[in-house]
């Protein structure tokens, strides 16, 4: 029996991964060239701190100087119990639920250095309510900006599927109960400018809507 | 005042340092500092860390000093207390300590100007931000496999109130491995000082009480092996003791 709450806990750590789908790896270009000098071996992870999390209907204000934001529709795996050194075969047993999320990033073409300002500004992770775990293999994600469909992708294109991703991440770090692992975002995801209304969706999981606003604080 | 957290007789206790150096429970009982199980002095929120924030260390690693702070984030899985044990992976060939002044945020702050940055600081503690360089990759570098490992971020023993550290930008840092000094520096050599870091981070994200900024490390890094006792000390803040153990695979 796993405890499941309807929203991501304030104390949870949210981890995400880039370059987890083949189209994104192709789009990035030559992985052997500087500064990367080789394809990544471990999952390329980042952290979304607590101030990034906002709910459905949020007005997300961009940091000073930013005019647009990449909208990475993704799914988060919400851990039901502490997980370390999982095997892919039973990794999903540790997942209590899933959550539709929009990982917002200020555009950054290079993945060489951690993207802190770009990915960690207040409001940079709209998340929906936690839902029970379902079959993720064919889940379709979509992004609409101002009513127009601008992106769609399927979790079937993940290079590391959720079970493999959990195994490779927990090989070196423990995920705690309540922590969230986002399964991937697209390289060069569609951009929303100030004033945009954004809606991300996942088949069977509903939608998550928010607006992008300029720096008015 | 110096504040700590320990486990004692089945409970987590908030403690302070008594005048004679012993550990004082809230009810006044005094315990020897080696008789208690030390926890990190705070329950950390967001953990920020700085790369290449000392001119000498940046030079040692053959990079030019960055023109903006090189910040990375850490989860709380790495945090352990004073006198804890940190695992060295069996395949590691270069695992090094990093003695760092840790700044603990006490007040919520957004767009905090440099001149008021210290107002949101609760106090300071010592961090040892281990890295396993074998796993370094040029993807969001330093990548989490190097820097976000279980038990690899000892913190403590004490959180020292801001008021008791009049000049945090002029403190000596010293690391000893098995009693021999291997790393020495001063916080005066930071490239981006504490007010600059607080102003920079809070320019795009809110800082919250419990957030911690690990401010980087000076030169003098060295490989440590299972059995090594690593003492990271900062003048006026404390000495954090950690022992390396072989990881069980």
Concatenating the DSSP letter of every residue in B144-168 gives: HHHH--TT-EEEEEEEEEGGG-S-T
Check whether residue B133 and residue B191 sit in a common domain. Answer: yes
Residues in chain A with CB shorter than 8 Å from the CB of B204 are 63-64, 117, 120-122
Q: Is the dihedral of CA B98, B103, B108, B112 positive or negative?
A: negative
Smallest Cβ–Cβ distance between A173 and the set B70, B75, B138 belongs to B75
Residue B119 above 50 pLDDT? yes
CB contact under 8 A, B70 and A113: yes
For chain B, report the end-to-end CA distance as a whole number of angstroms: 41
Q: Tokens in use for B193?
A: 């000082």
H or E stretch at B201? helix B194-201
Task: Give the integer Cα–Cα distance in Å for B63 and A29.
Answer: 25
Smallest Cβ–Cβ distance between B73 and the set A37, A47, A63 belongs to A47
Residue A3 is assigned to a structural domain of this protein? no
For chain A, report the end-to-end CA distance as a whole number of angstroms: 44
Smallest Cβ–Cβ distance between A45 and the set B76, B144, B205 belongs to B144
Residues in chain A with CB shorter than 8 Å from the CB of B149 are 172-173
Neighbour count for residue B26 (Cβ, 10 Å): 9
Q: Which long-range contacts (CB under 8 A, 24 or more apart) does A168-171 make?
A: A168/A42, A168/A43, A169/A15, A169/A17, A169/A43, A169/A45, A170/A83, A170/A84, A170/A85, A170/A86, A170/A91, A171/A85
Chain B residue closest in CA terms to A19 = B139
Check whether residue B107 and residue B209 sit in a common domain. Answer: yes
Residues in chain B with CB shorter than 8 Å from the CB of A18 are 140
pLDDT for residue B64: 65
Residues in chain A with CB shorter than 8 Å from the CB of B74 are 47
Stretch B51-62: mean pLDDT: 74
Cα of B103 vs its chain's centroid, Å: 8
Cα of A45 vs its chain's centroid, Å: 10
Calculated CA dihedral for residues A119, B116, B99, B38, nearest 10 degrees: -90
In which domain, by residue range, is A53 found?
A: 14-213
Task: Write the CATH number for B11.
Answer: 2.30.30.370
Task: Write the CATH number for B100.
Answer: 3.90.850.10
> What is residue A112's DSSP assignment?
S
Residue A6 is assigned to a structural domain of this protein? no
CA geometry: angle A75, A79, A82, nearest 5 deg: 150
Which stretch of A170-184, A200-214, B59-73, B108-122 has the lowest confidence by average pLDDT?
B59-73
* Residues of chain B numbered 78-137 and touching chain A (CB < 8 Å): 78, 110-111, 135, 137
Task: Give the integer Cα–Cα distance in Å for A193 and A170.
Answer: 36
Distance between A19 CA and the closest CA of chain B, angstroms: 10
Burial of A97 (0-12, 13-18, 19+ CB in 10 A): buried
- B157 prior amide bond cis, ω within 30: yes
CB contact under 8 A, B140 and A111: yes
Task: Give the integer Cα–Cα distance in Å for A57 and A63.
Answer: 19
CB contact under 8 A, A45 and B148: yes
Residue B166 above 60 pLDDT? yes
Check whether residue B117 and residue B190 sit in a common domain. Answer: yes
What is the count of structural domains for chain B?
Answer: 2
Residue B60 above 70 pLDDT? no
Stretch B191-204: mean pLDDT: 97
Task: Write the CATH number for A176.
Answer: 3.90.850.10
Residue B228 has φ and ψ, to the nearest 5°, of -70, 140
Check whether residue B154 and residue B239 sit in a common domain. Answer: yes
Q: Select from A208, A204, A180 the least CA-distant residue to A17.
A: A180
Task: Give the integer Cα–Cα distance in Å for A188 and B216.
Answer: 31
What is the DSSP code string of B215-244?
----S---B--TT-EEEEEETTTEEEEEEE
Check whether residue B72 and residue B105 sit in a common domain. Answer: yes
Q: Which residues of B29-63 are buried (b: 16+ CB within 10 A; e: fewer)?
A: eebebeebebbbbbebbbbbbbbbbbeebbeeeee
Calculated CA dihedral for residues B44, B151, A105, B69, nearest 10 degrees: 80
Contact B112, B207 (CB under 8 A): yes
Residue A7 is assigned to a structural domain of this protein? no
Check whether residue B221 and residue B154 sit in a common domain. Answer: yes
pLDDT for residue A1: 38
Check whether residue B179 and residue B103 sit in a common domain. Answer: yes
CB contact under 8 A, B204 and A113: no
CB contact under 8 A, A42 and B135: yes
Check whether residue B5 and residue B105 sit in a common domain. Answer: no
CA geometry: angle B193, B199, B202, nearest 5 deg: 135
What is the count of structural domains for chain A?
Answer: 1
In which domain, by residue range, is B13 found?
A: 1-39
Neighbour count for residue A112 (Cβ, 10 Å): 14
Check whether residue B137 and residue B235 sit in a common domain. Answer: yes
Smallest Cβ–Cβ distance between A40 and the set B77, B137, B203 belongs to B137
Task: Give the integer Cα–Cα distance in Å for A211 and A30.
Answer: 35
pLDDT for residue B61: 61
Query: Is B208 touching A (CB cutoff 8 A)?
Result: yes
Task: Give the integer Cα–Cα distance in Å for B52 and B192.
Answer: 10
Smallest Cβ–Cβ distance between B149 and the set A15, A64, A172 belongs to A172
H or E stretch at B177? strand B172-177
Check whether residue B199 and residue B241 sit in a common domain. Answer: yes
Check whether residue B13 and residue B114 sit in a common domain. Answer: no
Smallest Cβ–Cβ distance between A121 and the set B78, B144, B204 belongs to B204
Smallest Cβ–Cβ distance between A173 and the set B110, B111, B148 belongs to B148
Distance between B132 CA and the closest CA of chain A, angstroms: 11
Ordered mean pLDDT values, 10 residues apiece, chain A (217 residues)? 68 96 92 94 97 96 96 97 97 96 95 95 96 93 97 95 98 96 95 98 94 84
Residues in chain B with CB shorter than 8 Å from the CB of A115 are 140
Q: Tokens in use for B45?
A: 């929120």
Question: Could you tell me how many CB contacts below 8 A there are between chain A and chain B?
Answer: 104
Q: Is the dihedral of CA B111, B116, B119, B121 positive or negative?
A: positive
Check whether residue B138 and residue B102 sit in a common domain. Answer: yes
Stretch B149-178: mean pLDDT: 98
Distance between A203 CA and the closest CA of chain B, angstroms: 31
């Amino acid at each position: 029996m796993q405890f499941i709450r309807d929203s991501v806990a304030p104390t949870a750590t949210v981890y995400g991964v880039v370059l987890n789908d083949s189209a994104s790896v192709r789009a990035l270009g030559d992985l052997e060239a500087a500064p990367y000098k080789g394809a990544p071996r471990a999952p390329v992870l980042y952290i979304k701190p607590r101030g990034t999390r906002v709910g459905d209907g949020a007005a997300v204000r961009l940091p000073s100087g930013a005019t647009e934001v990449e909208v990475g529709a993704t799914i988060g795996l919400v851990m039901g119990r502490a997980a370390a050194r999982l095997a892919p075969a039973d990794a999903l047993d540790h997942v209590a639920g899933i959550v539709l999320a929009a990982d917002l990033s200020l555009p950054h073409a290079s993945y060489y250095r951690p993207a802190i300002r770009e990915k960690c500004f207040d409001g940079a992770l709209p998340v929906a309510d936690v839902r029970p775990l379902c079959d993720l293999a064919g889940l379709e994600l979509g992004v609409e900006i101002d009513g127009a469909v601008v992106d769609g992708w399927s979790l079937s294109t993940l290079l590391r599927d959720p079970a493999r991703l959990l195994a490779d991440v927990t090989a070196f770090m423990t995920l705690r109960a309540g922590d969230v692992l986002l399964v991937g975002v697209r390289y060069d995801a569609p951009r929303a400018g100030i004033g945009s209304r954004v809606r991300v969706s996942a088949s069977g999981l509903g939608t998550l809507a928010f607006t992008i606003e300029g720096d008015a604080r | 005042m110096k504040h700590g957290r320990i486990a004692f007789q089945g409970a987590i206790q908030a403690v302070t340092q008594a005048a004679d150096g012993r550990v004082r429970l809230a009810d006044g009982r005094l315990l020897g500092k080696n008789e208690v199980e030390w926890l990190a002095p705070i329950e950390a929120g967001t953990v920020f860390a700085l790369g290449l924030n000392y001119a000498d260390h940046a030079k040692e690693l053959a990079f030019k000093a960055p023109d903006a702070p090189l910040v990375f984030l850490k989860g709380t899985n790495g945090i352990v207390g004073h006198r804890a044990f940190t695992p060295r992976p069996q395949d590691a060939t270069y695992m090094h300590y990093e003695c760092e002044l840790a700044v603990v945020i006490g007040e919520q702050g957004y767009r905090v100007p440099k001149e008021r940055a210290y107002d949101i600081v609760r106090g300071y503690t010592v961090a040892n931000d281990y890295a396993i360089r074998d796993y370094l990759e040029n993807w969001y570098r330093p990548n989490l496999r190097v820097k976000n490992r279980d038990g690899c971020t000892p913190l403590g023993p004490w959180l020292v109130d801001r008021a008791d550290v009049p000049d945090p930008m002029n403190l000596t840092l010293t690391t000893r491995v098995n009693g021999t000094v291997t790393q020495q520096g001063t916080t005066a050599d930071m490239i981006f000082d504490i007010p600059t870091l607080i102003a920079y981070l809070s320019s795009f994200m809110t800082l919250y009480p419990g957030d911690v900024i690990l401010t980087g490390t000076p030169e003098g890094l060295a490989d440590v092996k299972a059995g090594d006792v690593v003492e990271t000390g900062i003048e006026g803040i404390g000495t954090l003791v950690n022992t390396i153990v072989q990881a069980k695979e």
